[in-house]
Amino acid sequence: MYTRFERNGPLTELASYPQWAQDMVSDCEATRRKVLEHEIWARMIALELDDESTYNFMAGLWPFIERFPSYMALNLLKTRYGRSEGDDKARRWLVRNIRVEQNHAEYWLDWAEGAGVPREDLLRKPAPAGTDGLYRWCEEISSHGSLAAGMAATNYAIEGATGDWAHLVYASEKYCDSFAPDVRAASLRWLKLHAAYDDTHPWEALEIVCTVLGSTPLAADVAHLRECIERSYMCMILLGDRCIRTHREGQILEGVAA
C-alpha cells in the first residue's frame, strides 16, 4: 500500500528521507567511493595522464554527455500530468533541467579542445572500443525501467558522483592552470558548472524517487533501485579503467624495460 512521503528536513541531509532510502544510499556508499577514489582523477589532477588516456576519457564519455538530455526525456515520457504527486514533481523537474543540460555538450567539446582533443574527433569518429557501457546502460534503464529506477540510476547516482569528481578536478589549481589563459575559462566551464550545480540535483532526484515510491515501498522495489544505482557506479568505474588502460600498460612496459 502506498504511503505518501513528505520531506520534513533539509534537502541535502540524508536523515530527511525515509529509512529505506537512507539504508539504500548507505548500502551503495562503498561503490560510490570507488568512483571518487578512481586512479583517473588523481592522475588528471597531477597532469600525469598521457595523450591517449586523455583522448579516451574525452571521447569515451562524449556519447554519454551528448545523450544525457535524451535519457531525461525518456524518463519524462513515463510521467502523466495529474496522475500522482510523484509524476507531477518529476515532470516539472525534468522539463526544467532538460533545458539546463542543452549547452553542456558544447561545454564538453570546449574542455576536450582545451585538453588537446579536437572536437571533430569527438563529433566524427567512433568512441574508443570498450567505452560504451555507461551510455548503453543509461539508455536501457531510461527506456525500459520504471520512472524511479531511471531517475535513480541517472539523475541521482551518475549526476551525484559526477558532481563530486568534477569538484575534485576543478578544485585543483595545478590542473586549471594547465590550460592556456586565453581558453581557460571556456575550457573549464563544464567542470565549473558540474562542480557547483550538481550539489543539489542528485538530492532533488532522490526526493522525487522517494515521492514516487512513498515511505513504505515493497522490499523488491527498493532492492531493484539499489541494483540500478550500483550498476551506474560500476559503469563509471569500468569506464575509468578503460580510459587509462593504455596508461597502465605503458607503465608496466616501462617497468619491464627498467
Q: What is the mean pLDDT of residues 221-238?
A: 98
Q: Rounded CA gap, 15 and 12, in Å?
A: 9
Q: Global pTM?
A: 0.93
Q: DSSP characters for 41-70?
A: HHHHHTT---HHHHHHHHHHHHHHHHHHHH
| CA pseudo-torsion sign 64, 203, 227, 42 | positive
Residue type, 158: I
Give the CB-side neighbour count of residue 255, counting CA atoms within 13 A.
6
pLDDT confidence of 198, banded at 50, 70, 90? low
Percent of the chain residues past pLDDT 90, beyond the cut: 89
d(CA 83, CA 226): 25
Q: In residues, how long is the chain?
A: 258
Q: Which three cell numbers stand for residue 253?
A: 612496459
The DSSP 8-state label assigned to residue 15 in this structure reads G
Cell of 79: 510521467
pLDDT band at 101 (very low <50, low <70, confident <90, very high): confident
**In angstroms, how far is the first alpha carbon of the chain from the final one?**
66
Asked if the model's pLDDT at residue 5 lies above 90, the reply is: yes
Among the listed residues 114, 201, 106, 191, the one whose alpha carbon sits nearest the alpha carbon of residue 152: 201
pLDDT at 247: 53
Predicted pLDDT at 199: 77
CA atoms of 126 and 128, how far apart (whole Å): 6
214, 4 in Cβ contact below 8 A?
Answer: yes
The structural domains of the chain, ordered by start, are 16-257 (1.20.910.10)
Average pLDDT over residues 73-92: 96
pLDDT of 24-54, one tens digit each? 999 999 999 999 999 999 999 999 999 999 9
pLDDT at 254: 46
Higher pLDDT, 181 or 101: 181
Q: What is the largest CA-CA distance in the chain?
A: 68
DSSP 82: T
- The DSSP result for 174-212, as a single string, is HHHTTS-TTTHHHHTHHHHHHHHGGGTHHHHHHHHHHHH
The answer to whether 78 and 88 are in contact (CB under 8 A) is no
Main-chain dihedrals φ then ψ at residue 229, nearest 5 degrees: -65, -45
Q: How far apart are CA 257 and CA 236, in angstroms?
A: 32
pLDDT band at 253 (very low <50, low <70, confident <90, very high): very low
For the residues 93-118, what does the mean pLDDT come to? 94
Q: Where are the alpha helices (DSSP H) in the chain?
A: 19-36, 39-45, 51-76, 85-101, 104-114, 119-124, 133-144, 147-151, 159-170, 173-176, 184-187, 189-196, 201-213, 219-243, 245-257
Number of other residues whose CB lies within 10 A of the CB of residue 107: 19
